């Protein structure tokens, strides 16, 4: 993979990282439900919403971790190689998911 292509993927990863950080910050903002306790159903809905926010924040943090790993690989010169078999990850995979850690064949095997 040439340096121009790597720079393109790095730019995409950095943009994705910024977007994820903003989304994480937004998802961790506490919701204001008020302090009225009218019904058990309302409290159940509020608890469910909090649970959903936590799940979304965790998913975003996992995606951020994947992006950080890819950026680290660019820094160390190991970017674009499958972690399973070691061959070059196809551009068609990296175009869609520049943080991908596996080639097409290894993804299909999982």
Nearest to 9 by CA among 63, 89, 83: 89
Largest pairwise CA distance in the chain: 62
Q: Provide the pLDDT for residue 62.
A: 96
Check: CB of residue 67 under 8 Å from CB of residue 16: yes
Reported as a single tens digit per residue, the pLDDT across 60-72 is 999 999 999 999 9
pLDDT at residue 34 greater than cutoff 60: no
* Higher-confidence position of 41 and 98: 98
DSSP state of 90: P
Reported as a single tens digit per residue, the pLDDT across 75-108 is 999 999 999 999 999 999 999 999 999 999 999 9
Nearest to 62 by CA among 15, 109, 29, 99: 99
Measured distance CA(89)–CA(102) in Å, rounded? 6
pTM score > 0.85 for this model?
no
Q: Which domains does the chain have, with CATH numbers?
A: 3-28+44-109 (1.20.120.910)
Gyration radius from the chain CA atoms? 19
């Amino acid at each position: 993979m040439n340096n121009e292509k790597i720079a393109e993927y790095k730019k995409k990863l950095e943009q994705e990282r910024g977007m994820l950080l903003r989304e994480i910050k937004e998802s961790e903002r506490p919701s204001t439900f008020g302090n009225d306790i009218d019904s058990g159903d309302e409290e159940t809905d509020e608890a469910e919403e909090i649970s959903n926010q936590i799940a979304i924040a965790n998913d975003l943090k996992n995606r951020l971790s994947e992006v950080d790993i890819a950026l680290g690989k660019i820094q160390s010169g190991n970017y674009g190689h499958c972690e399973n078999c070691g061959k070059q990850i196809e551009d068609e995979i990296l175009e869609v998911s520049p943080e991908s850690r596996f080639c097409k064949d290894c993804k299909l095997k999982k």
